[in-house]
């Protein structure tokens, strides 16, 4: 991922940048908000901004919003200045990181915002067939449509294609069409000219120009508004784009990869997706299999994630016990690889013995219990009977927060929810009288 740090690189914020680079981030730096905005407008893109808490965060956030630049902002400050943290969040920062920087916390923030996996882990013959086709088409210039359920690794496959292509030394740019509001997405993709709309104080280069010579990933392209679909189609056909408010087209050279968790043929039949755009994107279709069809890969992926999160959390790597592996194999994984990854991340942190035991594998609807006797899964389910889903969810969230010593970003990452969702839940629990751990607290149990 690409990290833009706003502030001087000396001292603690410099240490934070070093940790980020060690975690695989590509770091840029700007001393002021104005210089940072100039870099973003010129096409020096970023996936995340980390800014000194004493900088003008409110102006940065309002400028990003008015210029239709969709980027998360993280504030950093020395010590436990709670008032500064509150001001930063109120100004629009998504999270606050205390300095000196903690390597685990920096890693959790980077992972929560954007992870760029470099290798696809597999043994399954079906997955091997998909990889073989991907490797065969990667050197071509053909557009590729990657389809599959959420959590199957569509973006990872897109990065794999780029890494195997003739464009591998150029930029890979990803745009999540589902996460960016419609009124921002056009400017995000195509850029805009100064004065194109209220707040457009300068020319801004869009993702097409930012990816010139490289690869542009349109993630969840099925969520794109039909009006933008027409503009995208023209860009693909003519290899040129029109900036918002622009007087003349701009030539671009990009290879397009698109993903969708929907059946686009059905969307075309319903009239919500243009048929001509579908054929333009679907020169080659790679279908990512669900994890339930990759049974051989479950143990391999589980061990891979154990290693990954043991290292990330500075925990000694523990083997997965037979009971835990049985539970993993019995689950049907509706959330696919992403669900398995979150489950293993939780298990690595919750494990206390010499092995990762079955009690740490928190999955719902575990199947495949033995015909005789009561399995751990049955006992776990029985303990939940009579309780509401809201009560179980609250205990899981607060317990996870305890284990993370109150670290909101880390807890949200483990739980597989956004920071905003976590904050809303915690605010609700506090109002209901439950004790919510604060950062740095191993905390008391929830109030009765």
Residue 375 confidence (pLDDT): 46
Q: What is the mean pLDDT of residues 150-174?
A: 92
Q: Between 145 and 377, where is the model more confident?
A: 145
- The contacts of residue 235 (CB under 8 Å, 6+ apart) are 190, 208, 241, 252
Residue 139 confidence (pLDDT): 96
Q: pLDDT tens-digit profile of 96-144?
A: 877 766 666 666 666 555 445 557 899 999 999 999 999 999 999 999 9
Residue 105 confidence (pLDDT): 63
Q: Between 155 and 382, where is the model more confident?
A: 155
Residue 21 confidence (pLDDT): 75
The answer to whether the beta carbons of residues 220 and 259 sit under 8 Å apart is: yes
Residue 49: pLDDT over 60: yes
Residue 2: pLDDT over 60: yes
CA 262, 268, 273, 275 dihedral sign is positive
Which of 53-67, 152-166, 403-417 has the least mean pLDDT? 403-417
Residue 368: pLDDT over 60: no
Residue 379 confidence (pLDDT): 43
CA 309, 314, 319, 321 dihedral sign is negative
pLDDT tier at 83 (50, 70, 90 boundaries)?
A: confident
Residue 367: pLDDT over 70: no
Residue 387 confidence (pLDDT): 61
Domains of the chain, with CATH numbers? 2-113 (3.40.50.2300), 125-289 (3.40.50.300), 293-431 (1.10.8.60)
Residue 28: pLDDT over 90: no
The number of residues in the chain equals: 448
The three-state (H, E, C) secondary structure of the chain, written as one string: CEEEEECCCCHHHHHHHHHHHHCCCEEEEECCHHHHHHHHHCCCCCCEEEEECCCCHHHHHHHHHHCCCCCCEEEEEECCCHHHHHHHHHHCCCEEEEECCCHHHHHHHHHHHCCCCCCCCCCCHHHHHHHHHHHHHCCCCCCEEEECCCCCCHHHHHHHHHHCCCCCCCCEEEEECCCCCHHHHHHHHHCECCCCCCCCCCCECCHHHHCCCCEEEEECHHHCCHHHHHHHHHHHHHCEECCECCCCCEECCCEEEEEECCCHHHHHHHCCCCHHHHHHHCCEEEECCCHHHCCCHHHHHHHHHHHHHHHHCCCCCCCECHHHHHHHHHCCCCCHHHHHHHHHHHHHHHCCCCCECHHHCCCCCCCCCCCCCCCHHHHHHHHHCCCCHHHHHHHHHHHHHHHCCCCHHHHHHHHCCCHHHHHHHHHHHHHCCCCCCCCCCCCCCCCC
Residue 282: pLDDT over 90: yes
Which of 8-17, 160-169, 240-249 has the least mean pLDDT? 8-17
Residue 109 confidence (pLDDT): 65
Q: pLDDT tens-digit profile of 380-430?
A: 444 555 567 777 788 888 888 877 767 787 777 778 787 778 888 888 888
> What rounded mean pLDDT belongs to the chain?
83
Which of 100-114, 308-322, 342-356 has the least mean pLDDT? 100-114
Residue 371: pLDDT over 50: no
Q: Between 314 and 64, where is the model more confident?
A: 64
Residue 321 confidence (pLDDT): 96
Residue 445 confidence (pLDDT): 38
Residue 385 confidence (pLDDT): 52
Residue 378: pLDDT over 70: no
Which of 196-205, 278-287, 398-407 has the least mean pLDDT? 398-407
Q: pLDDT tens-digit profile of 38-48?
A: 888 887 778 88
Residue 254 confidence (pLDDT): 97
Residue 366: pLDDT over 70: no
- Residue 86's Cα: distance from chain center in Å? 25
- Residue 433's Cα: distance from chain center in Å? 32
Q: pLDDT tens-digit profile of 227-280?
A: 899 999 999 999 999 999 988 999 999 999 999 998 999 999 999 999 999 999
Tokens of 421: 């969702």
Q: What is the mean pLDDT of residues 352-362?
A: 92
How large a percentage of the chain has pLDDT more than 70? 85
How large a percentage of the chain has pLDDT more than 90? 43
Residue 268 CA to residue 229 CA, distance in Å, equals 12
Residue 301 CA to residue 124 CA, distance in Å, equals 11
pLDDT tier at 285 (50, 70, 90 boundaries)?
A: very high
Tokens of 316: 């000694």
């Amino acid at each position: 991922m690409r990290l833009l740090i706003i502030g001087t690189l000396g001292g603690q914020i410099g240490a934070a940048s070093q940790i980020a680079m060690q975690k695989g981030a590509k770091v840029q730096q700007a001393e002021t908000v104005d210089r940072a905005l100039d870099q973003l407008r010129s096409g020096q893109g970023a996936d995340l901004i980390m800014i000194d808490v004493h900088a003008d965060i409110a102006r940065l956030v309002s400028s990003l919003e008015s210029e239709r630049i969709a980027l998360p902002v993280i504030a950093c400050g020395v010590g436990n200045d709670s008032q500064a943290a509150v001001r930063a969040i109120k100004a629009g920062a998504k999270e606050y990181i205390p300095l000196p920087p903690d390597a685990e916390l920096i890693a959790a923030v980077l992972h929560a915002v954007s992870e760029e996996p470099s290798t696809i882990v597999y043994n399954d013959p079906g997955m091997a067939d998909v990889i073989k086709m991907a490797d065969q088409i990667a050197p071509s210039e053909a557009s590729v449509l990657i389809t599959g359920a959420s959590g199957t690794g569509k973006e990872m496959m897109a990065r794999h294609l780029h890494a195997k292509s003739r464009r591998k030394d150029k930029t890979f740019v990803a745009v999540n069409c589902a996460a960016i509001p419609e009124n921002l997405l056009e400017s995000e993709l195509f850029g805009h000219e100064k004065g194109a709309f209220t707040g457009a104080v300068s020319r801004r280069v869009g993702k097409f120009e930012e990816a010139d010579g490289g690869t542009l990933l349109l993630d969840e392209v099925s969520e794109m508004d039909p009006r933008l679909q027409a503009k995208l189609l023209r860009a693909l056909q003519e290899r040129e784009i029109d900036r918002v408010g622009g007087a003349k087209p701009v030539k671009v050279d990009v290879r397009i990869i698109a993903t969708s968790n929907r059946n686009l043929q059905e969307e075309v039949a319903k009239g919500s997706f243009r048929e001509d755009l579908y054929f333009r994107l679907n020169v080659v279709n790679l279908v990512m299999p669900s994890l339930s069809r990759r049974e051989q890969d479950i143990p391999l992926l589980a061990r891979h994630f154990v290693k990954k999160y043991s290292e990330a959390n500075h925990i000694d790597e523990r083997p997965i016990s037979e009971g835990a592996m049985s539970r993993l194999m019995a689950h049907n994984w509706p959330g696919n690889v992403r669900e398995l990854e979150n489950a293993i991340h939780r298990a690595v942190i919750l494990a206390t013995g010499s092995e990762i035991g079955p009690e740490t594998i928190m999955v719902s609807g575990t199947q495949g219990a033995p015909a005789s006797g009561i399995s751990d899964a049955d006992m776990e389910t029985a303990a939940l009977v009579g309780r509401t889903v809201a009560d179980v969810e609250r205990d899981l969230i607060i317990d996870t927060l305890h284990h993370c010593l109150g670290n909101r970003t880390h807890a949200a990452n483990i739980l597989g929810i956004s920071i905003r969702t976590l904050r809303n839940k915690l605010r609700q629990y506090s109002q209901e009288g439950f004790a919510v751990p604060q950062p740095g607290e191993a905390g008391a149990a929830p109030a009765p």
